[in-house]
Structure formats: structure tokens, C-alpha cells
Structure 1
Amino acid sequence: MQASLLAVFAHPDDETLRCGGTLALYAARGAKVHLICLTRGEAGRNTDPTLGDQVDLPTQREKELQDACAALGTEPPIFLGYHDSGRGDRLRRDDPLATINVDPIEMERRILQVIEEIRPQVMLTFDPHGMYGHPDHLVAHRVATAAYTSSGFRQVRVQRLFYTVQSREEMTRLQGGRSLGVLEGLEPETYAVCDCTIAARIDVRPYAAHKRAALFAHRTQTGPLSTLGNLTDEQFAPLLEVETFSLGGVRCAIPEYPMTDLFAGLDVTFAPAPQVVYDEA
């Protein structure tokens, strides 16, 4: 069976920062790599003034995710059409389509439908704290984990579930200097993981240019007014080297711990596709 990977995230850009290199790596190796995005990021903010004051944010962010997936070499994104819940004082409690207000079983069933169609052996989603506690991230974690669990009773049983995680050292680095704003004031002992929790370390250096291109395809989120787009080289460079995951669930033995290949030991084949080449300069 051809290798197949399904990532489940909440907003356009969630897929790139934590696991864009991994998605690019497996797409280049010949796996079918699909991404489910729960929303179009309607409650976000535009940080690129060159796009103008009247930018239609959900339409723009949909296009940005399509461009990011093209840069990573994955299949086009699958949008489930729910709404961004926002957070803090912008939390959309009254929007019936905001993920925080939707029946999670409905979401789970829709993800299971995708699983039946694309037959992934491996799934990726947020860690239990959603990187920094965004309500939509927590929903994505919950419904993706539920779908993985429920798949055990179905024809297509996902073999492995991984969570994107940050080490305490990495989180502390991103909180220093020009800090990544969403991490300000958060305790690494809660929102990061200890080293022994890291179940997989994936070397993504060969796909650093793909990840960088995908990240900056999200113009509304990495513009000159964003903290993400203004990280120092010292902060940003390690994100282009190694991506880390914890283990959410397995239905078969894993050959090593920590792993260096999410598909290691699985009976799958890879059919390499032509690679997109980016100029590092």
C-alpha cells in the first residue's frame, strides 16, 4: 500500500511552523500527504499592509494555504468549512459554526470520511495543549485524536498518531528576544514537553527552503507587523532543522524510540514525485 499521511490542523499556517518540513519530506519521498484545515482563519489579523485594508481574510488565507501546500509538495488542502473561534476577548461564542460551538462528533465523523478515502497509515495533529492553548487548536487535537481512536473499528485503521510538540529549550528560545507573541507569559513546563516525551525527531534540513517558502506564503500571518515574520535568525534557524513529535497512539510496534522516520516498520511503498527546488538565497 502506498504510504499516506493525514495532518489535521485548525487554521492556515498551523501546518507549516511545527511540521512543514516533515510534510515536505514525505511528499518528496512519494507518500500521499493530505491536510485537513478546520477553518479559513476568519478571526485572524492581516499583518501585511501591502495587501490593503479591505482584504477578504478567509479568501486570502485559503489561497495562502493552497500556495503553502504547493510549496511543500502536498496534495491541495481539504477545508471542512467551520469558522475560526478567535481567542481571548475576540472569542466568537455566538457563531454556531465556530469550532468551539460545533458538535465534536460531527467533526470526528467528517474526518473519518476523509480517512476512509485517503487511507492514511500516519496522522499528525496538535499536542494536548494546542502549542499555546488556542481554542481551535484544542478542538483540532480532540477531534483528530477521536477520529484516530474510532478508526480502529473501521475498515481503514490508522496505525500511528503523532502530536506536534516543542521542547522546553525551543519554547524558551522563541520567548526570548523578539518573542513569538502567542507564547508570551506561558510556562514551558506546561506548553512544552520534556525530552523523554519526544517520540520522533525528524531531520528536515533538506527541506528548509520548502518550509520557508510555505511559511511566508502565509502573507497575512508573516507580514512586517507580525511577530512570526520578525523572528531573529537565531530563533528561526532551528525550526528549519528538526521537527519533533510525541506519540498519540499506535496500533503496531515501533522499531526505535525516539523514531527518525514516522513510517518506520510499516509495510508501505513510496513513489517519489518530482521535487520542487527552491533557491536557498
Structure 2
Amino acid sequence: MASFDIKAGWRALLAMLALAAPALLSPVPALAQANEPGCRPEMASYRLPIQRANLGKDEVRLTFVGHATFLIETPGGVKVATDYNDYVRPPVTPDIATMNKAHSTHYSRAPDPAIKQVLPGWDPSGRGAARHDVTMGDVRVRNVPTNIRSYGGDTDYDGNSMFVFEIGELCIAHLGHLHHPLEPGHLRALGRVDVVLFPVDGSYTLDQEGMLEVLKSLQARVMIPMHFFGGGTLNRFLGRSQDLWPVVRRERPEIVLSKATLPAKPTIIVLPGH
């Protein structure tokens, strides 16, 4: 029977361990959590790229995060999130968050405490309409109250707001959960609108024909649809509007706008998402 060289055996074992060490010390891939909570299917949002080009002094970056939430970024670095809620949020903490109470997908019960200004589009005390006129850095945010339908079908007077964002020479209006046509008083309060963000679902909010009339009255140079729950609803709206305005579909959910680069005539710009 051949004798076993203990020293030679230990040397061979140590050599094998040395070869295996890099693999043993390398990080173990993280396993996906089967029970990881996710946003609602219709609330899928887009991730923003890590590297983002600086904005010129007259530029504004708009990113469609999903549903009715947009991230608005100013040249001075102020970040605003519209219809901030607990289901879909931008991947950065905004400095200002606007909210509407029509549905839980338009407001948050637990907004990030790092947000400097949280602006509900209704008066939580129930004493009347919300009134906001806030300036932070290079953006002014104000609201125009509107009515909504309550869950019981009644009218909740001043229950929501359209929010207006004034950045340099650009005026952006987010119509929120608009349920009714705009009256002359609403139009005067909104003032000149360069960019309008508007819902097109046609059922939970104002019907599509009514929304077309709203857009005609605003005459914004850029019109960006939101709140459409999928391509079918959006395409129905675009079919109704095709004889009125040109449509531009973007490949990315973000767009940089300035007063100088607005289209020469009113244009619908579709950002990917829903």
C-alpha cells in the first residue's frame, strides 16, 4: 500500500484554496425578493438617468413619471413633483409637491418629510378653496381651484386645483383631475399658458370632447397628455384631435423646453408612459 505524504497533501490543498479564493470572496448576486411590493400595473414609472445635462437659464426639464405625476426641474435646480402620491413617485425627492384629492393616486398620506413645500389642491380644513402662491428659487407655484365629483356623485366645490408653474418666461399649467369645462374666470386666473399637462381618460375626468374645448380655449403651444391608463384611450383622444393639431411622439419620457424653442403653432407632444 503506497504511503501518504502528509506535507505534500497540505501543499496541494493550500494551492487549491488559493486558486478558489477569488471566487469565494467575490460578491454573491442579490436574489430578487418575491414579495417585494410594487406599484400598481397602471402606475409604472420611468427611471431617470443618473447623468443629466445642466439646463440653460431659460430652460425647463419636464419628465413624465407616470399617471398624473411629472417632475419639473428648473435652471436653478428646484424640483417640483405634480400630483405627488404613494404609488408612483419620481426617483428624486422634490423641493415642492402638489397634490389633488380626487383619488389616492393623486395625493400622499405620508409625503416625504424632506419635501420643503407640500401644496394640497384642496383645503384640508374644509373651510373653502385652497390658496397657494409660493416662490422658491426660480419658480413660482400658484393654484386655480376647481370642482370635482365626490364618490357619491355630488359636487365637491373647490375640491381640486389646477397648478401653474412660472419659470423664467415659461408658464406651465397642470390641469390635475379636471372634471368640468373651464369658465372665463378660470381662464383669467390661469393667464397665458405655454405648456399644458392635461388628462385624457375621458371618464374619471372631463370627457374627451370637453377636454378638446378646454385646449382650444387655452391655446398653449405645447400640450402633453397624461392620465390615460394605456394606449387605447390615448389613441382615441388623438383620433379626435388629429384635424386640430399636429402630434409629435417622443422616444424618451423627458423633454427640455424654453420659450424660444416652443413650436410655432400648438402641438400635442406625447411622452412615453401612462
TM-score range, shorter chain: 0.3 to 0.5
TM-score, normalization by structure 2: 0.34
Q: Which has the larger radius of gyration?
A: 2
Which of 1 and 2 has higher RCO (CA within 8 Å, sep 6+)?
1
TM-score, normalization by structure 1: 0.33
